[in-house]
Structure 1
Amino acid sequence: MITKVKKIINYIIDYKNFWALSKYSTRFSINWRDRYPCLYDNSDTTPFDSHYIYHPAWAARAIIKIKPAVHVDISSTLHFCSILSAFVPVKFYDYRPADLKLSNLSSGSANILSLPFASNSVESLSCMHTAEHIGLGRYGDSLDPDGDLKAIAELKRVLAFEGNLLFVVPIGNKPKIMFNAHRIYTYKQIIEHFNDLELIEFALIPDYPSSDGIILDATEEMANKCTYGCGCFWFLKKISECK
């Protein structure tokens, strides 16, 4: 509380000093009624949400290696699909469609429990920080304790043979539901849920200090040290594994 009061006092002092410095300038108007206090941005480093900075960066680098003709994304962060569309045609789908208007990007409505694609038809697919929400009602979807498993089944159904899936969820040492925000999975759970696909890469955004930020080629042991980390799984649907 004391810190907040100090920040408000400093804001008022800064306002008065800035007004004094700019009162002879005609480039902008400055009025107290137009104030917009930003009190917490004076920090030593730029803060960011490590989950939502690192996992799209990881996925973009994976897609550069995949080089798909078209990439399909199911409900990942809009920053990812919008930036990726500058380099690869992207088709984005969400339960709540986004009114995005960019070249190389189409946006449509889809329910992850019943995707509008034929089986084995999508060659490059991503669903990141999404499945953990399905069935919790947070976004207006129906309550279903197994909603995430049904979503995973749909992703595997539509993925083409020799197709790539980028799948991201919270990872920790104990599986639990933080109702109605999200689920937290163990590494073992995800591997079991996708045991019919080949794991190409596992990257980890840990909730413990890491000099690498995101750990590439991470291990299950690293994942099990987390309480709320972010697991980035790159899967491949091999023909031989799906017979």
Structure 2
Amino acid sequence: MLKRFKALIQFLGFYPNMLLENVKGLVWYFEDLKSLKKQIESKNKNEFPFGKKYPVLNEKFSTSGIASGHYFHQDLLIAQRIFQNQPVNHVDIASRVDGFVAHVASFRKIEVFDIRSLPDYIYNVKFIQADLMHLDQNLIHYTDSISCLHVIEHFGLGRYNDPIDIDGHLKGLENIYQILKPGGRFYFSTPIGHQRIEFNAHRVFSIKYLLELFNTKYDIIHFSYVDDKGDLFRNVAFTDSEIEQNFGCVFGCGIFEMIKK
């Protein structure tokens, strides 16, 4: 009940934790401001006159960054794998532009297909707006390397103005298979846990279901996962118990590197 109430008030734009942090932050904000003004007066330092007030109240005791979670680990891991494997061409299906795509574009060219638009020009990124639930026949056997990170779970749920389609994920995966050349590599990630739809955010896939989809079409050469705490476990083996338990995840992230048979 408490979680539902918290979700409701956040939906209405009210974030109690942020409010409390900001109220506490005001105390040291004014203390620091007073201290700075005293230094200016005592040292007659006038090079930087005060402009508008711009209080940042929740970062005084924060860490230097967040090196955990689905996107951080998958984006870095798969970019590293692509760098090591050096494909002739690499195509990405709708992964995060300000994460994975930017990582790859820092060292090579990358083509991005997405149902959403991308109005900005990015060096080393060729963008094509397309609905990957429908395949352009010119794309069959188009590339030797393809990625789709934390994306397929959305296909057919309407979140990104895509058409509602209960089989959207299946159509997307089949079209990716068609785009990839035999012997090419497919880098894939998606939420893992007990299988369900959390409408309209995403699907969550069981490991068993994913293996049934992939085993006849691909050789899985690496599997890693991010657990519910946001920690990465690299290149782990499939066992019957881990498959059955989805590696202990309720909402984890499975990360596959596969070669098309």
CA contact (8 A) 1:8 1:39 kept: no
Check if 1:92 corresponds to 2:115.
no
What does residue range 26-41 of structure 1 map to in structure 2 within 5 Å? 26-31=46-51, 33-40=52-59
Instruction: Choose 91-100 or 52-61, whichever is displaced more.
Output: 91-100
Whole-Å separation in 2 of the counterparts to 1:41 and 1:165: 42
Question: TM-score with structure 2 length normalisation?
Answer: 0.80
Sort the Cα spacing of 1:101 and 1:145 in 2 relative to 1 into closer, same or farther, 3 A: same
Supply the AA of the counterpart residue of 1:75.
Answer: A
Check if 1:193 corresponds to 2:216.
no
Structural RMSD (CA): 2.3
1:61 matched residue in structure 2: 80
Supply the AA of the counterpart residue of 1:227.
Answer: V
Whole-Å separation in 2 of the counterparts to 1:2 and 1:103: 42
Deviation at residue 115 of structure 1 after TM alignment = 3.9
What does residue range 188-227 of structure 1 map to in structure 2 within 5 Å? 188-195=208-215, 196-208=217-229, 213-219=232-238, 221=242, 223-227=246-250
Query: Secondary structure at the residue paired with 1:34?
Result: coil
Deviation at residue 203 of structure 1 after TM alignment = 0.8
Whole-Å separation in 2 of the counterparts to 1:115 and 1:82: 25
Whole-Å separation in 1 of the counterparts to 2:92 and 2:190: 15
Sort the Cα spacing of 1:6 and 1:176 in 2 relative to 1 into closer, same or farther, 3 A: same
Sort the Cα spacing of 1:42 and 1:176 in 2 relative to 1 into closer, same or farther, 3 A: same
1:170 matched residue in structure 2: 191
Whole-Å separation in 1 of the counterparts to 2:102 and 2:63: 30
CA contact (8 A) 1:135 1:144 kept: yes
1:15 matched residue in structure 2: 33
Query: Secondary structure at the residue paired with 1:216?
Result: coil
Q: Of residues 166, 175, 183 in structure 2, which corresponds to 1:145?
A: 166
Whole-Å separation in 2 of the counterparts to 1:2 and 1:89: 45
Whole-Å separation in 2 of the counterparts to 1:49 and 1:209: 5
- Structure 1: state its 5+ residue gaps: 239-243
Identity of aligned residues (%): 29
CA contact (8 A) 1:69 1:88 kept: no
1:241 matched residue in structure 2: none
What does residue range 53-132 of structure 1 map to in structure 2 within 5 Å? 53-78=72-97, 79-116=99-136, 117-132=138-153
Give the count of matched residue pairs. 234
Query: Secondary structure at the residue paired with 1:224?
Result: helix
2:5 matched residue in structure 1: none
Check if 1:159 corresponds to 2:180.
yes
Deviation at residue 218 of structure 1 after TM alignment = 4.3
- 1:83-103 residue CA offsets vs partner (Å, 9 max, x unmatched): 212322211121112234333
- Structure 1 runs of 4+ off > 6 angstroms? none
2:11 matched residue in structure 1: none
CA contact (8 A) 1:19 1:30 kept: no
